[in-house]
Amino acid sequence: MAAQLHAQTAPADSARHTAPDTDGIWYASYPAGVPAEIDVSEYETITHYFDECVARFRDRVAYVSVGSSLTYGALARKAEAFAAWLQGVGIAPGERVAIMLPNTFQYPVALFGALKAGAVVVNVNPLYTPRELAHQLKDSGARAIVVFENFAKTLEEALPGTRVEHIAVTGLGDLLADGLNFKGKLLNFVLRHVKKMVPKYALPQAVRLRDALRTGARRSLAPALRTSGDLAFLQYTGGTTGVAKGAMLTHRNIIANVLQAKAWSASQLSGEVETVLTPLPLYHIYSLTVNALIFLGLGGRNILIANPRDTKRMMMILRRETFTGITAINTLYNALLDDTEFCKRDFSALKLAMAGGMATQKAVADRFKAVTGQPIVEGYGLTECSPIVATNPVELGNMRDFSGTIGLPVPSTQVRFRREDGTWANVGEPGELCVKGPQVMSGYWNRPDETAQVLDADGWLATGDIGVMDAQGFIRLIDRKKDMIIVSGFNVYPNEIEEVIAMHPEVREVAAIGVPDPVQGERVKVFVVARDPSLTADAVIAHCRLQLTGYKVPRAVEFRDALPQTNVGKILRRALRDEEIAKQRVS
């Protein structure tokens, strides 16, 4: 999902009211039975939606973690206990509760518990540094936090100057079972004392989450009166390129996106229990909406992967599991396909493989289909849109090769493309993708100026992505506006270069950036992680010359063991570009 939006030129008044010929053309390409509009009023809040799902699927397994299961009913009981504890310590509706947890049972318990208490959830990346965590806690004004004990030392260092008063600490084994929970205690002991994964920390005011749940279970939960327009999440974004800011997502925003996805997929999934592999962190907007919420409405069973980068441990977990769905991003699919054990699995039960977060490369999609027999269904979204904006029909991926499009706008969503002069582009013309719909955020938390830069008075959100729509309404992204490389006045898009280089069989990962050049303005440099150490820069450049016009061909190739990535695996071009600029300053 797009990480940050930038200031854009608003269209002139005359252009704003002139509809382009792209408007609504995508409806004719909708799969049979998918409506053009959804009824956003079907649920008032996420809590109402959660309660209905629990009532329907109470005895089904909702989550699987480290070989243990958590049913919908057990999840609801624990969430209500956490909500009652929050109310007991004085957290009022509308106050912020931070959640700093990986994919474990504790995450959905804290998530739905905070929402049931009427709180606003602030999702926090557990891998944050103390500086990053301190900024998010101070900016959000969070009064409570649930933190994994592995990261409690970070919280200790970040705490001064924040409004945090209440801390619940938890370990991986804490909620694995009821009763004596020998398995959980043993697991916690190993992580703390054998693997030394829990640094010493001092948080004297903290309570153990399991103790908070016991306390909450003895209290009565008072109904928290919330409406569809109230905030549900402060979902922070933009930290890789500047100060992170909180996208204000209301209950209506999230419910709309859930219903949009439900309308899109209702005819494509059966009434059977769908088991989805969840390697992407639930605190990320993509996994939060798709895995934690959309599959909730399907009575789905989530296999939680706490550390997706540890593919060896993931394969150990999957030896006992069969999954019908998976959500991932390009780099994770690539890593899985490089694992021999994964490629030897039986994929006969797999129905749906979804991708978002970054461009899916054709080479990866083709390999995935060859291994599993199923296509990768690519979609597009961004934090500021809860996140889904567009997606491909599932059956289309079964009928044709990977197309590289991000699909069609989902129901109740309008999409237009803005030219550089601020007017709306027509079919086949590239422009900045702009979105309007019930899933679009209400703005950035305490940042009215930045909100005004991306969200205009008519509700159009400027995404910062350059794209184009074809005559059938399918959208193809060209690149991020901020990542465009200008070579001698020509626009060069890193995605195109990366797509070409990724087709080379000896390339595992690639990133393309523009570096300053006194003659051309910028020149193209690529960073390559090779499968075969004998791969040379000359071979990469020769491969590019067969596929790209001269000014797009890289002038420099640097080989690396790994590329910088976000917590969900999106390659950080900006980090690479900053390194290059720093080198030039030194020289």
Nearest to 511 by CA among 441, 561, 439, 576: 576
Residue 103 has pLDDT above 70, yes or no: yes
Cα–Cα distance for residue pair 310/306, rounded to 1 Å: 9
Q: Which domain holds residue 109?
A: 69-226
Shared-domain flag, residues 391 and 358: yes
Among 462, 480, 498, the domain-final residue is: 480
Shared-domain flag, residues 421 and 488: no
Shared-domain flag, residues 323 and 195: no
- The helix/strand/coil state of 330 is helix
Cα–Cα distance for residue pair 299/97, rounded to 1 Å: 26
Shared-domain flag, residues 155 and 297: no
% of the chain at pLDDT higher than 90: 73
Among 418, 448, 480, the domain-final residue is: 480
Mean pLDDT taken over the chain: 90
Query: Model confidence over 274-327: pLDDT tens digits?
Result: 999 999 999 999 999 999 999 999 999 999 999 988 889 999 999 999 999 999
Residue 238 has pLDDT above 90, yes or no: no
Query: Model confidence over 412-453: pLDDT tens digits?
Result: 999 999 998 999 999 999 999 999 999 999 999 999 999 999
Cα–Cα distance for residue pair 105/211, rounded to 1 Å: 15
Strand 475-480 with 485-487, pairing: unpaired
Each residue of 305-341: b (16+ CB within 10 Å) or e? bbebeebeebbebbeeeebbbbbbbbbbbbbbbeeee
Is residue 282 within 8 A of residue 567, CB to CB? The reply is no
Specify if 303 maps to a domain: yes
pLDDT for the residue 178: 59
Specify if 553 maps to a domain: yes
Cα–Cα distance for residue pair 529/276, rounded to 1 Å: 30
pTM as predicted: 0.85
Specify if 240 maps to a domain: no
Task: Identify the CATH number of the domain in which residue 177 sits.
Answer: 3.40.50.980
**Residue scoring higher pLDDT (11 or 287):** 287
Specify if 58 maps to a domain: no
Shared-domain flag, residues 19 and 119: no
Q: Per the structure, how many domains does the chain have? A: 3
